[in-house]
Amino acid sequence: MRVKDVLNELVVAAYRLKGGYAKVQVRDQSILISVDHLRTLKRAKTYSIKEPDTLDWLDSFEPNSCYFDLGANIGQYSLYPAKKYGDQIRVFSFEPQNNNYYVLNKNIFFNGLGKNILSYCVAVSGQSEFSKLYIPKFIPGGNRSQFGNEDIENMKISATHIQGIFGVTLDDLCGKWGFPYPNYMKIDVDGIEISILKGAKSVLTNPALKSVIVELGTTAEQEKAISLMQEAGLEVKQRSTRNWGETCLIFARS
């Protein structure tokens, strides 16, 4: 076993003796984060500072809202609004990577939010189909997994594990399977954001949708997203790189 792996096991074991979680303060909310790996511990320690624009956006929600978290990872940006708004919000979290999905559900359980957050191990995508998820780092808290194709440019390294998964469009979620139309959506899916938007024409044009925050990489992706959103009646409200250096665009109904 490598030294790094031994260190990981020791850290996880130490937290397990204390309940298996780290307690963190995120603005005015105290939140428990399951420590299953050094990566999830890092996410806990950077929780309150990594994505200030996302937290500001979550703070702007109106009461009695429905929120979709696409690419929820271990659930930081599902847990915070659920804790903040309680029964005044319905949160639907979508995370395809099974390590992340396991920790996401542990975090929901640890924080007593089972009545506020429903999580689904599916890949929201541009087509409704069974496909594969290419995972570069098969660990809890890992990111850059790619649905449908092994995209090395976004993954940075080759997949270390391939997981079977069902992908679904937003329009099918709401139009075919009866999910409520969201008032707010976060889209952070490492490379297929444009595909998701193309499969969401009905959701994006629905008047219930008030605002969307999307993390986008290239200038071309940003321009395409702006075009698709404008067609749906959504305009750029804010563009920022404060979220750990990543460019995110916040759209609102014009």
Query: What are the b/e assignments for 171-204, b being 16+ CB within 10 Å?
Result: bbbbeeeebebbbbbbbbbbbbbbbbbbbbeebb
Q: Tokens 């979290």 map to which residue?
A: 93
pLDDT of residue 5: 77
The model's pLDDT over 17-31, given as tens digits with 9 standing for 90+, comes to: 889 999 999 999 999
**Domain 3-253 CATH assignment equals 3.40.50.150:** yes
pLDDT of residue 15: 84
How many CB atoms are closer than 10 A to CB 251?
25
* Closest of 227, 230, 232, 235 to residue 252, by C-alpha: 235
pLDDT of residue 254: 78
Domain ranges of the chain: 3-253
Query: Which helix (H) or strand (E) is 5 found in, with range?
Result: helix 3-17
Q: How far apart are CA 66 and CA 126, in angstroms?
A: 21
Q: Which residues of the chain have pLDDT under 70?
A: 1, 155, 244-245
* Closest of 37, 92, 47 to residue 70, by C-alpha: 92
Sign of the Cα torsion 96, 98, 100, 104 reads positive
Measure Cα distances from 152 to 77, 155, 186 in Å.
26, 5, 24
Q: How far apart are CA 74 and CA 105, in angstroms?
A: 8
The model's pLDDT over 46-66, given as tens digits with 9 standing for 90+, comes to: 999 999 999 999 999 999 999
pLDDT of residue 153: 76
pTM score of the predicted model: 0.94
